[in-house]
Amino acid sequence: MSLPIITALIRNLIKAPVAVLRGRVAKDAEVLTLRHENAVLRRQIARVRYEPADRIWFAALSRLVPRERRRQVFAVTPTTPLVWHQQLVARKWTYTQHRRPGRPSTVPMIKRLILRLAKEDHTWGHRRIQGELARLGYPIALSTVWEILHVAGNAPAPQRSGPIWRQFLNTQAYGILAVDFLHLDTISLRRLYALVFIEHGPRRVHLAGITARPTARWTIQQARNLAMTLGCRMDSLRFLLRDRDTKYTHAFDAVFQADDMEILLSPPRAPRANAICERAVGTLRREILDHILIYNEAHAAQVLTEYIQHYNGHRPHQSRRQLPPDSAEPPVQATVTDFQAHPIRRQSILGGLINEYQRAA
């Protein structure tokens, strides 16, 4: 028994002899006063909550009160002792340390894996997901997979909701080639135009050519040169995305249509429709063209060619898990623990305007 309960019992036991020694009239008056106060408090309080010491005290005094008067004296009902008894039984016979009956629940990690497979592979039904889990070493019942998908709000059947736009564009990206013109001004205020192509999938940039007078015939020739440069990679491209510039003639489109490519025209004055190419052009401006003076066409070709080699071979891209366009898989390198044994080497590009860093072997 806890110390507060013992203290309350001792206090009440001391009060009992004092109450017996008082006069009968005084005791009756005090009892009437307490009864009236108790009735007033019952009207104001919906439910009285007693501590364990209070319950023990009431149980001891109930022996001295006639049975027919207990309802008027004590603020308890006949079911109250039954409730107390049920609480004591529940407190004694607990099974918190025992395994719950029935089949054990699915591990949360398995649930997350099922929902991940359903999200990343929208064409997979619950049977396909169950088979993939079994191949990974997680055998699970087919009905369990169905139930987890159903509770999460994913229809178990294939083609649940179709691919989202990001998934659709990422799927189609490896078949899209975009083109746009980039203009730059020389130190003598002469304007030059560079024809830039970019492959959406690997984000690989190609400089087709630079000229001060971009005509339709010149643009067609640059397209032919690019087709010869890409070679067999042209077979994997399905679309050419371009704007409605008049320099892109039917003969220009025919160069790519010969390789079964479809021409996609962006809406007028809608650069976001060709966002990846526009972003690559913006990168060229921010990282080199805004920080270097161009003398002539030869100088512009040299600067852009050197930077595009850095762009394709070294510059990381967030959309490719920080891989450069010409890299298929990240190099396997152990985590550096001794920084003195593995110094970082720098290689300057464009006279130190751009730097490339490599870990020394």
183 and 250 fall within a common domain: yes
Closest CA to 301 of 171, 212, 198: 212
Q: Is residue 293 part of a domain?
A: yes
197 and 151 fall within a common domain: no
For residue 162, give the amino acid letter: G
Q: What is the CATH number of the domain that holds 294?
A: 3.30.420.10
Q: Is residue 350 part of a domain?
A: no
310 and 228 fall within a common domain: yes
Return the pLDDT at 209.
Answer: 95
153 and 183 fall within a common domain: no
Highest mean pLDDT among 30-39, 76-85, 143-152, 161-170 belongs to 143-152
| Boundary residue ending a domain (141, 162, 183) | 162
Q: Is residue 43 part of a domain?
A: yes
240 and 313 fall within a common domain: yes
Q: Is residue 96 part of a domain?
A: no
Q: Is 191 a residue whose pLDDT tops 90?
A: yes
Residues 6+ apart with CB under 8 A from 329: 323
126 and 246 fall within a common domain: no
39 and 87 fall within a common domain: yes
Return the pLDDT at 339.
Answer: 58
By CB atoms closer than 10 A (0-12, 13-18, 19+), residue 195 is buried
User: What is the Cα–Cα distance from 263 to 243, expressed in whole angstroms?
Assistant: 10
61 and 85 fall within a common domain: yes
Return the pLDDT at 71.
Answer: 67
Host domain of residue 309: 175-320
Contact 250, 242 (CB under 8 A): no
Q: Catalogue the long-range contacts made by 127-134 (C-beta closer than 8 Å, 24 or more residues apart).
A: 128/158
Percent of the chain with pLDDT over 70: 72
Q: Which residue has the higher pLDDT, 356 or 313?
A: 313
Q: Is 268 a residue whose pLDDT tops 70?
A: yes
Q: What is the average pLDDT across 296-312?
A: 94
Return the pLDDT at 295.
Answer: 92
182 and 308 fall within a common domain: yes
Closest CA to 245 of 275, 266, 262: 266
User: What is the Cα–Cα distance from 33 to 159, expressed in whole angstroms?
Assistant: 78
Confidence of residue 144 (pLDDT cuts 50, 70, 90): confident
Q: Is 98 a residue whose pLDDT tops 70?
A: no
Q: Is residue 325 part of a domain?
A: no
Q: Which residue has the higher pLDDT, 230 or 128?
A: 230
180 and 313 fall within a common domain: yes
Q: Is 331 a residue whose pLDDT tops 60?
A: no
| Boundary residue ending a domain (30, 62, 91) | 91
152 and 251 fall within a common domain: no
**HSE of 154, CA atoms in CB hemisphere, 13 A:** 26
Q: Is 36 a residue whose pLDDT tops 60?
A: yes
Confidence of residue 263 (pLDDT cuts 50, 70, 90): very high
Rg of the chain, C-alpha, whole Å: 42
Q: Is residue 126 part of a domain?
A: yes
Confidence of residue 322 (pLDDT cuts 50, 70, 90): confident
Q: Where are the alpha helices (DSSP H) in 162-215?
A: 165-173
Q: How many domains does the chain have?
A: 3
- pLDDT tens digits for 4-21? 667 776 776 666 666 665
193 and 261 fall within a common domain: yes
Q: Chain-wide mean pLDDT for the chain? A: 80
Q: Is residue 188 part of a domain?
A: yes
Q: Which residue has the higher pLDDT, 345 or 308?
A: 308
Q: Is residue 245 part of a domain?
A: yes
